[in-house]
């Protein structure tokens, strides 16, 4: 057995047997989050995003989505710091997706009310998240390389300092891109033998499998189980989503799924359609199918009165996605970073 083989076992052996609740947080008591907390949690998250000048706002519907998934143990994987008036002033969550096959990952998420910052609460919350994350890695039973990950937008200076001090380092960089729709759109040039059709529930399982295949060679991507795939769809926009079908085989060759973040439009100052997932299976690459799917959705966005088309991209993506988007008129307007501890 090699040193590499031993590493994941050592990580799991180092997981704490117990994860104590934060201490030294005078004025707060700690308990798990429940679905009943969604309105209060939404207010806290909005206050944090306001203070950190995030380019988006997380809706209550999106927060409610996080309670979906029977693999999650909210009683053990979440905490809320509640003041004497019953107001949530801090929270933390840890999530280990069940479909991981190459790297077992735990995603950490948490925040402190801006009015309660500077009291050491953030350090306590991060310590709890990290310890619970290690427990989840051990509980996965998967002897694989492991990762604790935190996503932060690049305006969140206080949170970035906190995670760096907690041992997390930048691992991947992401850009949000947009393209105006009041200028000439690219032509829709569908490759021979393929046709682009609207997404339907009947196609969804094929699209999931196509996505798992298309992203198998992308850094940080892991297969999504059927339950993971449908979790978190409150913002899903089916009328702005499409699949490319191979006429000869009936297979899904590529797909584009959109989201509608209507609650962000007042903050942005414009209306936008958001391309959430875009993929082309390897056998159909090199034929500009991705361009055809994007041209199709741009036309759909504009037909529904949108001002902008938006999407996110991994800036180190080896598929050339960044160049594709730039060639279609998209430009970067914001960035974010994934910080990680690689185990």
How do residues 245-290 score in pLDDT, each as one tens digit? 999 999 999 999 999 999 999 999 999 999 999 999 999 999 999 9
3-state secondary structure of 33: coil
> Percentage of the chain with pLDDT > 70?
95
3-state secondary structure of 53: coil
Mean pLDDT of 89-112: 97
Between 7 and 50, the higher pLDDT residue: 50
Q: What angle do CA 331, 333, 336 make, to 5 degrees?
A: 115
What pTM was computed for the model? 0.92
Residue 113 pLDDT exceeds 70: yes
- C-beta separation of 226 from 205 below 8 A: yes
How do residues 203-243 score in pLDDT, each as one tens digit? 999 999 999 999 998 889 999 999 999 999 999 999 999 99
- C-beta separation of 191 from 292 below 8 A: yes
């Amino acid at each position: 057995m090699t040193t590499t083989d031993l590493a994941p076992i050592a990580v799991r052996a180092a997981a704490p047997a117990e994860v104590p609740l934060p201490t030294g947080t005078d004025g707060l008591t700690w308990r798990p989050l429940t679905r009943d907390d969604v309105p209060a949690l939404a207010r806290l998250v909005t206050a944090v995003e306001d203070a950190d000048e995030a380019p988006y706002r997380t809706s209550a519907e999106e927060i409610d989505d996080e309670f979906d998934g029977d693999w999650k143990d909210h009683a053990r994987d979440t905490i809320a710091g509640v003041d004497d008036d019953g107001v949530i002033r801090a929270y933390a969550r840890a999530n280990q997706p069940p479909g991981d096959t190459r790297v077992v990952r735990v995603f950490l998420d948490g925040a402190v009310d801006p009015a309660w910052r500077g009291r050491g609460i953030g350090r306590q919350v991060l310590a709890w998240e990290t310890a619970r994350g290690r427990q989840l890695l051990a509980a996965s039973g998967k002897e694989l390389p492991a990762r604790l990950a935190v996503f932060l937008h690049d305006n969140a200076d206080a949170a970035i300092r906190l995670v760096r001090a907690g041992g997390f380092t930048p691992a991947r960089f992401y850009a949000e891109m947009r393209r105006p729709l009041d200028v000439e759109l690219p032509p829709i040039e569908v490759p021979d033998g393929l046709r682009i059709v609207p997404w339907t529930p009947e196609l969804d399982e094929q699209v999931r499998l196509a996505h798992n295949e298309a992203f198998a060679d992308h850094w940080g991507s892991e297969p999504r189980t059927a339950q993971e795939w449908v979790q978190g769809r409150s913002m899903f926009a089916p009328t702005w989503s499409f699949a490319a079908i191979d006429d000869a085989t009936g297979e899904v060759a590529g797909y584009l799924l959109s989201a509608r973040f209507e609650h962000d439009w007042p903050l942005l100052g414009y209306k936008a359609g958001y391309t959430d997932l875009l993929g082309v299976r390897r056998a159909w690459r090199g034929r500009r199918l991705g361009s055809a799917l994007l041209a199709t959705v741009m036309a759909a966005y504009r037909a529904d009165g949108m001002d902008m088309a938006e999407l996110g991209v991994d800036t180190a993506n080896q598929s050339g996605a960044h160049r594709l988007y730039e060639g279609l008129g998209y430009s970067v307007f914001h960035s974010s970073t994934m910080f990680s501890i690689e185990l």
